[in-house]
Amino acid sequence: MTGSLAGLLVVDLTRALAGPQAAMMLGDLGARVIKVESPAGDDTRSWGPPFVRTEDGTAESTYFLSCNRNKESIALDLKRDDDADVLARLIRRADVLMENFKPGGLRRLGFGTEELMELNPRLVVLSISGFGHDGPEADRAGYDQIAQGEAGLMSLTGPDPAHPQRVGVPIADLLAGMNGAFGVLAALRERDRTGRGQIVRTSLLASVVAAHAFQGTRWTVAGEVGSAQGNQHPTIAPYGLFRCAGGSVQIACGNDAMWHRLCAAFDITADDPRYATNADRLAHRDSLTALLESVFADHAADELLRRLADAGIPAGRVRALDEVYEWEQTRSQRLLVDVEHEGLGRISLPGSALRTFSVDPAGAETETTRVGHRPPPVFDADADAIREWLDVVPPRVQS
């Protein structure tokens, strides 16, 4: 096992996406992750189409494959004493336990906070919920699109305020997973100092609200309620998607100097008082957009992007996903990883966003990013090996 977290054991009781994403992030960094599934399996094993078929005809969900690499699988029915005992034995050996039951769900199975800390006082527990573990709506089930709407994100996304739109990926789940992994690492650092574990809690609601960024302070400080603006930035102009000959490009003029370079590159009058400052350009954004699109109308996207690059204007195209994964820049950043799946053979998966490097005294860098990855596990495939390991490896905390 390679990676910064090699030697760390994570017991992953989560299902769907937020929790599995958090556990996979730690697995990508080298932790050993044991995924504990119910006898029915993780919900996402049945989420599709698309499914891909193994040689024996088993259907594998591409959704499940997206968030469960670098894990082992064991199926346990925690309402059975013998299976609950297997989980207790895992907990005694674990560094981290992750769960996303509804608040109180793990306690009802006999693994409340007191029981967990008795089993392993050094355990870090990550709990992810939909709307928080307390408060008047703590018992609500959390699904991504519901959270996107309740947390205001859909009101900021879409062509206009009358047509709220969800983000095209389950962003509430993904943010909760990222926040969960971040919190676990902080708790492990605290354990280094105190010798004791911690409880880390986050939610889909908290993760979206915490990501409101300037749209949040736009309301809390300035008293303005943001709304959907389509593909134009609500506070910067010109910044967005602009039509050109046969397509479109995106440009981002983040300051007045960039605006003046854009004007010089395309023979636009820079001293027009309507566009003198960013505030002026925002106030006249419709006419500014019309002006730029009239100038860009004679330029195909590739030519336009070259001219924008020569002028030092940040710009780009809108790629379909197949184009993204075929792009050499994507591949250069290790954003595709190849794994050998038991039933599917060699498959490619979207990779981790993180790369790590060691630096010697002379400043030379050596990449230490994990390069050998486990495929997403076949259901219950590691059960026998895990039980055998439990019989051999002593617990961190003796019974």
Q: What is the pLDDT of residues 182-201, one digit of tens each?
A: 999 999 999 999 999 999 99
What's the count of helices (H) and strands (E) in the chain, helices before strands?
A: 16, 15
* Tens-digit pLDDT profile for residues 137-192: 999 998 999 999 999 999 999 999 999 999 999 999 999 999 999 999 999 999 99
Low-confidence spans in the chain with pLDDT less than 70: 1, 397-399
Residue 287 CA to residue 280 CA, distance in Å, equals: 11
Contact 76, 87 (CB under 8 A): yes
* Catalytic residue (one of 144, 173, 302, 360): 173
H or E element at residue 389: helix 383-392
Collapsing DSSP states into helix, strand and coil, what is residue 347?
strand
Q: Give strand pairing partners of 34.
A: 11, 72
Residue 296 tokens read as: 């860009």
Same fold, 9-211+335-392 and 239-316: no
Helices (DSSP H) in 139-211: which residue ranges? 144-150, 171-194, 204-210
User: Cα–Cα distance between 5 and 304 in angstroms, integer?
Assistant: 45
CATH number of 9-211+335-392: 3.40.50.10540
Q: What is the pLDDT of residue 1?
A: 54
| E strand or H helix at 166 | none
Neighbour-count burial of 148, counting CB atoms closer than 10 A to its CB (0-12 exposed, 13-18 middle, 19+ buried):
buried
What pLDDT, on the 0 to 100 scale, is given for residue 233?
95
Give, to the nearest 10 degrees, the angle between helix 171-194 and helix 18-28. 50
pLDDT value of residue 162: 96
What's the pTM?
0.94
pLDDT value at residue 397: 66
Active site residue 360: no
Q: 3-state class of 63 per DSSP?
A: helix
Domain range summary for the chain, segments of one domain joined by +: 9-211+335-392, 239-316
| Helix pair angle (383-392, 81-93), 10° resolution | 60
pLDDT at 398: 57
List phi, psi (to 5°) of 305.
-65, -35
Please give the C-alpha separations between residue 122 and each of 79, 105, 116, 193, 392, in angstroms, as whole numbers. 25, 22, 10, 11, 21
Domain over 239-316 is classified CATH 3.90.1720.10 = no
Q: What CA–CA distances, in Å, run from 4 to 30, 31, 194, 357?
A: 6, 8, 21, 10
Instruction: Please give the C-alpha separations between residue 354 and each of 177, 178, 358, 368, in angstroms, as whole numbers.
Output: 15, 12, 14, 11
d(Cα 96, Cα 277) in Å, to the nearest integer?
52
The β-bridge relationship of strands 239-244 and 247-252 is: antiparallel
Amino acid in the structure at residue 311: A
